[in-house]
Amino acid sequence: MEIALVEKNQYRFRIEQREPMRVPGVVFASRALLPQAAGDKALEQVANVATLPGIVRASFAMPDVHWGYGFPIGGVAATDISHGGVISPGGVGFDISCGVRLLAAGIDREALGRDRMRRLMDILDSTIPRGMGRGGLWKLSGAGEMDDLLVGGARYAVERGHGVPRDLARCEDYGVLDGAAPGQVSRRAVERGLHQVGSLGSGNHFLEVQAVDQVYDPATAAAFGLRVGQVCVMIHCGSRGLGHQVCTDHVRVMDQELHRYRIQVPDRQLACTPVDSPRGRAYLGAMAAAANYGRANRQLLSEATRHAFATAADVGLELVYDISHNTAKLETHEVDGVARSLCVHRKGATRALPPGDPGLPEDLVRAGQPVLVPGTMGTASYVMVGLPGNDAFHSACHGAGRVWSRHHALRMVRGERLRGELEARGIAVRPSSWRGLAEETPEAYKDVDTVAAVTEGAGLARLIVRLVPLGVVKG
DNA sequence: ATGTTC
């Protein structure tokens, strides 16, 4: 599909609607961030998504948008459930409920010091499971306990002693996505997940010890429990083999059944089905179950991190927030003056609720939702906050966004050398593989400082805190 | 992202 891009203002571009698009595309970016690199199909994917049955308002792209499976990563699309709106697994992503969690330590970087920091990194290195195919911290007893976890998410983990009730108040949806249907999760998916609860995985997943470097809004930072110099931990991971298998299973079936609903899509990777259909409900139930697995996973990793901090520095960690950036959620939004029940796909995009939103816990309702924006290895990360007037269904960016393929990164960078460069800059690195490290070189990503600034400029979210890395445990 | 090609 030919892309006709129109600059609406400095941070907002429009892909004009033309057949077979049902709505326009809206790309939040600066000229420098626009994905124009040769071979980058992200904007074409934004236009493809605009053809989905029932899509309303626009097919949106966040400033970190890049090429993905069917949908772009950094894409947001909402479909109207009562008007034939569809759900597409490709609009959620293979890593269902992949997300980020930020914990704040009761100590500043100066007080932590070099020796205790080294001890902390060594403990994390030896206790945080990570890498392709590796096992996790919590060996479930079997399919029965798995069902409890798939229904209960982080809440089930806390009930079993892995964390404290206050953690749940700082989790999106209080740690549990409603509507989980373990019966829609295949036996193979369950088997893959049984021994991976509490593991980072690989790719861009990480656990990073950080420090608050800048505070842009002290009042909101304080509401989030953050101050200058404070040590924090950011955890980025998802639903491992279980979520991957759920996506694979349901994409296959939807692909085979596209003709049943006479759905035409410009790319088979956009396989989808009406939300309000048996197959659509089946996927939503399986997706919610996988999402709860991802949330329990982050809860377990938090618990291990707390043990490491207690041992190395005798300090605690308070959860700031836990947010997914690969989900489809049933939400009510006003479209053309009418409140509509929508299925909001956010793939590589986080929810960003504004102050006053009823979805926020009591102690955050005045401040707004923390929006967690992880950078990449050796770069900054950000905490932002949701704003009123975000017409992308209250969504924001989820990170830096890839620009180099993994293959290209491997040709350009040696993992051993990259580790040396980062250590020379005072950033401790505990990799799981040299190859994985090389693939994640900071050069392979957009500049996260620019992405965060453009996200603010576009009115999607507002900057609250900048974090810098002290040590990274790499998946 | 992913028992990195059921």
Model pLDDT for residues A41-60, shown as the tens digit of each residue:
999 999 999 999 999 999 99
| pLDDT tens sequence across A261-273 | 899 999 999 999 9
B6 C1' closest Cα residue:
A248
State the Cα–Cα distance between residues A143 and A193, nearest whole angstrom: 10
> Can you give the distance from the CA of residue A270 to the C1' of nucleotide B5 in angstroms?
22
Candidates A205, A259, A398, A408; catalytic one: A398
State the Cα–Cα distance between residues A385 and A395, nearest whole angstrom: 11
Q: Which nucleotide is nearest to A436 (CA to C1')?
A: B4
pLDDT of A38 over the 60 cut: no
pLDDT of A7 over the 70 cut: yes
pLDDT of A333 over the 60 cut: yes
pLDDT of A311 over the 70 cut: yes
Q: Give me the residues near strand B, CB below 7 A.
A: A 69, 94-95, 98, 132-133, 188, 191-192, 196, 201-205, 238, 240-241, 244-245, 475
What pLDDT score does A271 carry? 97
> Can you give the distance from the CA of residue A188 to the C1' of nucleotide B6 in angstroms?
12
What pLDDT score does A261 carry? 84
| pLDDT tens sequence across A57-68 | 999 999 999 999
B3 C1' closest Cα residue:
A133
> Can you give the distance from the CA of residue A183 to the C1' of nucleotide B1 in angstroms?
23
Strand B positions within 7 A of protein Cβ atoms: 1-4
Are the CB atoms for A83 and A398 separated by under 8 Å?
Answer: no
Mean pLDDT of A356-371: 97
What pLDDT score does A231 carry? 98
| DSSP state, residue A378 | T
| pLDDT tens sequence across A185-243 | 999 999 999 999 999 999 999 999 999 999 999 999 999 999 999 999 999 999 999 99
Q: Which nucleotide is nearest to A203 (CA to C1')?
A: B1
How far are the Cα atoms of A121, A272, A274, A406 from residue A262, in angstroms, in the given order? 55, 11, 11, 37
What pLDDT score does A39 carry? 57
A36 confidence band (pLDDT: 50, 70, 90): low
Largest CA distance in chain A: 64
> Can you give the distance from the CA of residue A133 to the C1' of nucleotide B4 in angstroms?
10
Helix (H, G, I), strand (E, B) or coil at A262: coil
B4 C1' closest Cα residue:
A132
Q: Which nucleotide is nearest to A196 (CA to C1')?
A: B3
What pLDDT score does A37 carry? 56
HEC profile of A28-75: ECCCCCCCCCCCCCHHHHHHHHCCCCCEEEEEEEEEEEECCCCCCEEE
Mean pLDDT of A101-125: 98
What pLDDT score does A4 carry? 82
How far are the Cα atoms of A8, A13, A433, A435, A470 from residue A426, in angstroms, in the given order? 42, 39, 20, 21, 7
Q: CA gyration radius for chain A?
A: 21
State the Cα–Cα distance between residues A382 and A91, nearest whole angstrom: 25
Name the region of A278 (left: φ>0; alpha: ψ -120 to 50; beta: rest): alpha
Mean pLDDT of A129-149: 95
> For chain A, what percent of residues have pLDDT higher than 90?
96
Q: What is the secondary structure of A288-314 as a DSSP string? A: HHHHHHHHHHHHHHHHHHHHHHHHHH-
State the Cα–Cα distance between residues A414 and A438, nearest whole angstrom: 6
pLDDT of A328 over the 80 cut: yes
> For chain A, what percent of residues have pLDDT higher than 70?
99
> Can you give the distance from the CA of residue A275 to the C1' of nucleotide B2 in angstroms?
26
Task: Please calculate the CA angle A436-A440-A445 and round it to the nearest 5 degrees.
Answer: 160
Q: Is A250 a catalytic residue?
A: no
Tell me the average pLDDT of chain A.
96
Q: Which nucleotide is nearest to A134 (CA to C1')?
A: B3
Residue A317: count other Cβ atoms within 10 Å of its Cβ.
22
**What are the structure tokens assigned to A142, written together?**
């079997």
Q: Which nucleotide is nearest to A238 (CA to C1')?
A: B1
Which residues on neighbouring strands pair with residue A465, listed in sequence order? A215, A383
Closest listed residue to residue A200, CA positions, set A168, A153, A234? A234
| pLDDT tens sequence across A398-453 | 999 999 999 999 999 999 999 999 999 999 999 999 999 999 999 999 999 999 99
> Can you give the distance from the CA of residue A57 to the C1' of nucleotide B3 in angstroms?
41
| pLDDT tens sequence across A79-108 | 999 999 999 999 999 999 999 999 999 999
